Structure 1
Amino acid sequence: MSEDRTTTVGRRDFLRKVGFGTAGVGATLATPLVGSAQADSENNDEKRKARYRESDDVKTFYRVNRYPA
Structure 2
Amino acid sequence: MQDKQQAAFSRRNFLRAFGGASTTAVAAVALNPTEALAYDPGKEEDRARYQETDHIKAYYSVNRYPKHK
Give TM-score scaled by structure 2 length: 0.40
The structure having more radius of gyration, on CA atoms, is 2
Give TM-score scaled by structure 1 length: 0.40
Which structure: greater helix fraction? 2
